[in-house]
Amino acid sequence: MRILILLLAAALAGALTVFSFAPYRLFWLMPLCLAALMELIQREPRRAFWLGYVWGVAAYTSNFHWLYASLHDVAGLPAAIAAPLVLLLPAYLALYPGLAAWVACRIDPRPWVRYLVAFPAAWELGEWLRSWVMTGFPWAAAGYSQITESPLSGYAPLGGIHLVSYLVALSAGALMMLARSNMRLRLGILIVAALLWCSGFWLRDVEWTTPQGKPISVALGQGNIAQELKWTPENLEQSLLTYYRQVAMTRADLMILPETALPLFLDDLPIGYLTMIRGEASRAGMALASGIPRRTNDGRGYLNSVVALSDPKMPYYAKDHLVPFGEFIPLPGLIGWIYQYMNMPLSGFSRGGANQPPLLLAGQKVAFNVCYEDSFGEELAGPAAQAGMLANVSNLAWFGKSEAMSQHLQLSQARSLETGRYMLRATNNGMTAIIRPNGEISAIAAPFTAQVLTGFAQSRQGLTPYMRTGNLPVVLGCGVLLLAALLLGWRRRGRH
């Protein structure tokens, strides 16, 4: 019975993490949820892995429950298949919290080693691993809960989201030590914690990059076209007309349309449509880019691309980091049969390739990324160094009226902080937004409405510390801390 109660407590602590992220943004809740996990593994260290695992399953299920809407409501997968598939992702991701808890309990039983050294380092190494193993899925990393309300968000330009995640876990460890220390040690911990968080306030005001040139006016299209209608032949004309009208009624230096806004291959557009939409942009003196699938040069595959339609040469960016199961089929011989039950067009995209140059639009070098790609800070740091601003095109109509689009917005805010650049987000149904280099939202469109969001953005130059170093310092630092904890535990066991 005692073990069951502890497992239920772990599940509750994990499930509550959903409120620490957007749209709720209760950033202070994440350190408390991690501290609760630490308390549970302290009470039952022999069950540390399972306590961490249950915490993780509950956390990732509550955060990613919208996957069910994608698979069942939109893609049409039967509930009997969709529900187990939704649980597969949390079941896998939960391995990392489970292993972090197990490692922290096996290294050294002393509270200060466990809470301040071993657990924060193991936790962050786990978050880093899950950001790239099997193509990676870094959503709901602890650091995102701090963007942008928390003082800890000020550390993002220094070491990226992984440094922020480490500091969240360290803060949770400090909370645990306060309950298990004498008065003198408590005072020391409080002073260090206060310095850490107060320094974050100061770092938030540091400008790591500088303006370049004059601000430009930007317009971001949001068509609000339902996913189940987007690819049907009878609704094709309406989709094309929606975005044509938005372009025709807009006056800006630069306009961006969302991911696959034009739901045809580029060379399959109706005769004259491209000429018409280009003409409207030209009359307004406006550079125009749109998400649209295009075939590879050899004609054997297709790309999820953003094409500069206003440029006669039509340069493009093609998505490189594809979503498994959604944009490519892993192990098609094993799981390909599932797709016969699903309405999922274009599920076999080709990769666009690394080191694609930014697009030159309205005199600005714009580094594009498509949807899920802005989950990977280190991958965007290189393109951002070559560009003055970032742009993300997305289509989150797959996930219904859920927290997914707000969570995605928070990821984009983190990328702006890490790179010190504006992020222009053009989405099909939300959250279309202009994000400042400090991660704050300059303008945002109401979700689930058809409209054009207008505002201003300015190119930036210079590199943040994170753009220079990437994740390496944080990963190496956590590795060194974990090794130090191992040595401390080994020495202690040697004395006994």
CA angle 345, 350, 353 (to 5 degrees): 145
Q: Give the burial string for 2-31 (b: 16+ CB within 10 Å, else e).
A: eeeebbebbbebbbbbbbbbbeebebebbb
Task: Describe the crossing of helices 119-130 and 95-107 by its angle, rounded to 10 degrees.
Answer: 150
373 close to 344: Cβ distance less than 8 angstroms: no
The answer to whether the beta carbons of residues 138 and 93 sit under 8 Å apart is: no
Angle at 127 between CA 205 and CA 71, to 5 degrees: 105
CB-based contacts of 116, cutoff 8 Å, min separation 6? 170, 173, 174, 177
The catalytically annotated residue of 105, 124, 230, 371 is 371
Alpha carbons 43 and 40: distance in angstroms, whole number: 5
Which residues 6+ apart lie within 8 Å of 33 measured at CB? 13, 14, 16, 17, 20, 59
Which one from 33, 280, 319, 478 is the annotated catalytic residue?
A: 319
Active site residue 214: no
Residues sharing a CB contact under 8 Å with residue 184, sequence separation 6 or more, in sequence order: none
SS3 state at 206: coil
How far apart CA 150 and CA 32 sit, in angstroms, is 14
Task: Name, in order, each residue with C-beta under 8 angstroms of 52's C-beta and a sequence gap of 6 or more.
Answer: 10, 37, 41, 94, 97, 98, 99, 100, 101, 102
* Six token digits for residue 405: 């689009």
Handedness of CA 362, 365, 369, 371 (dihedral sign): negative
Determine the Cα–Cα distance for residues 396 and 431; give it in Å rounded to an integer: 9
Residue listed under structure tokens 């399953």: 57
Is 319 annotated in the active site?
yes
371 is catalytic: yes
Identified catalytic residue from 39, 259, 280, 403: 259
Q: Is the peptide bond before 135 cis (omega within 30 degrees of 0)?
A: no
Q: Which residues are catalytic?
A: 259, 319, 371
